[in-house]
């Protein structure tokens, strides 16, 4: 257990529905990342927060995706009007101020039917 938690662990939804995932970071970590991982591939970067500021977004993050980190604590990732291509594992990772390694949560497995 890295201390990073994600909820829910699994989500099954129908195409066109909205979904929201939550990530609770290690308490003293001010940097938070979202990644997406599809079967047989490594994680791909989606977006990055330092405290409450969203500082970078990947071109993978279409207009249907939005992420927030109110008050620099937990973060949410919302996908609107889900598509079957959104089916993946969504991973959250956090990093402290000095060390460069990122610690990952258990992920949320999304299945869009």
Interface contacts to other proteins, rule CB under 8 A = 2, 4, 6, 31, 33, 35, 40-45, 48, 55-56, 91, 93, 95, 100-107, 109
Nearer to other proteins, 26 or 80 (CB): 26
Q: Give the integer Cα–Cα distance in Å for 109 and 107.
A: 6
Which of 34, 12, 17 has its CA nearest to residue 81?
Answer: 17
Nearer to other proteins, 74 or 80 (CB): 74
Nearer to other proteins, 47 or 82 (CB): 47
Which residue do the tokens 């990644």 mark? Answer: 35
The distance of Cα 36 from the centroid of its chain, to the nearest Å, equals 7
Nearer to other proteins, 19 or 43 (CB): 43
Q: Give the integer Cα–Cα distance in Å for 52 and 110.
A: 25
What are the tokens at 61?
Answer: 């993050």
């Amino acid at each position: 257990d890295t201390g990073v938690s994600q909820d829910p662990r699994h989500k099954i939804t129908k195409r066109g529905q909205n979904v929201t995932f939550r990530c609770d970071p290690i308490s003293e970590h001010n940097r938070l990342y979202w990644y997406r991982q599809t079967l047989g591939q490594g994680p791909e970067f989606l977006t990055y927060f330092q405290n409450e500021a969203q500082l970078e977004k990947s071109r993978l993050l279409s207009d249907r995706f939005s992420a927030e980190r109110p008050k620099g604590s937990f973060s949410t990732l919302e996908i609107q009007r889900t598509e079957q291509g959104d089916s993946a594992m969504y991973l959250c990772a956090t990093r402290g101020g000095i060390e460069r390694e990122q610690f990952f949560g258990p992920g949320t497995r999304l299945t869009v039917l």
